[in-house]
């Protein structure tokens, strides 16, 4: 990873919508939401996050990131209305970004790896934005990657127990039985 003291300007083609999900009341849980960037390019991704961060939470002016998540770590990034300062979090805070607003509010977001599948990314964003979640960022990502996308407990038999099989319909409801 390289570090630069010069401001870096983000220029990218049209992107999809910001993949961000926040808790209803930040500051009460271990993380305040999740952010799923589309690449490991901190300059492009951070500009997108800051420029599209929900206004109700305030204007982001300072960001701290975990170095292992990014290819380059600049000290400033150009955004739509100026620059945002960039700092670094301790090594123990992998997969986290800390946002500080002009109003001095602080938000901790899970950084979902860009190479996650759609299901994994959606599940990680949901877990990070669920009120009462006490898992750290690394634990959330471990839980998402260790479990299959389809949980056998999502299917129930007629007597209330779980079942798992090649059919999406419980055995007693299949035709021909």
51-76 residue pLDDT tens: 999 999 999 999 999 988 898 889 99
Whole-prediction pTM value? 0.74
- Residue 138 parent element (H or E): helix 137-146
pLDDT, greater one: 113 or 10: 113
The residues that bridge with 139 in the sheet, in sequence order, are none
Question: In which band, very low, low, confident or very high, does the pLDDT at 94 lie, cut at 50, 70 and 90?
Answer: confident
13-52 residue pLDDT tens: 456 789 999 988 887 888 999 999 999 999 999 999 999 9
Token pair, residue 24, equals 């209803």
- Residue 124 parent element (H or E): helix 118-128
CA torsion sign, 46 to 51 to 57 to 61?
A: positive
Can you tell me the distance from the alpha carbon of 101 to that of 171, in angstroms, rounded to the nearest whole number? Answer: 55
Q: What pLDDT score was predicted for residue 4?
A: 53
Q: Quote the percentage of the chain above a pLDDT of 70.
A: 74
Question: In which band, very low, low, confident or very high, does the pLDDT at 153 lie, cut at 50, 70 and 90?
Answer: very low
Give which of 35, 37, 10, 7 is closest to 108, Cα–Cα: 35
């Amino acid at each position: 990873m390289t570090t630069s003291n010069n401001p870096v300007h983000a220029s990218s083609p049209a992107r999809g919508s910001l993949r961000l999900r926040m808790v209803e009341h930040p500051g009460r849980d271990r993380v305040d939401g999740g952010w799923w960037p589309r690449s490991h390019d901190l300059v492009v991704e951070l500009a997108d996050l800051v420029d599209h961060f929900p206004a109700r939470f305030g204007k982001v002016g300072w960001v701290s990131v975990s170095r292992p998540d990014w290819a380059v770590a600049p000290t400033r990034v150009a955004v739509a209305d100026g620059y945002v300062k960039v700092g670094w979090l301790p090594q123990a805070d992998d997969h986290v970004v800390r946002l500080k607003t002009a109003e001095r509010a602080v938000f901790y977001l899970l950084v979902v790896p860009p190479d996650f599948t759609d299901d994994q990314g959606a599940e990680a964003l949901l877990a990070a934005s669920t009120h009462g979640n006490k898992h750290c960022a690394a634990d959330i990502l471990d839980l998402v990657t260790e479990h299959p996308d389809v949980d056998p407990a999502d299917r129930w038999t007629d007597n209330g127990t779980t079942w798992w099989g090649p059919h999406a319909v419980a055995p007693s409801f299949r035709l021909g039985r």
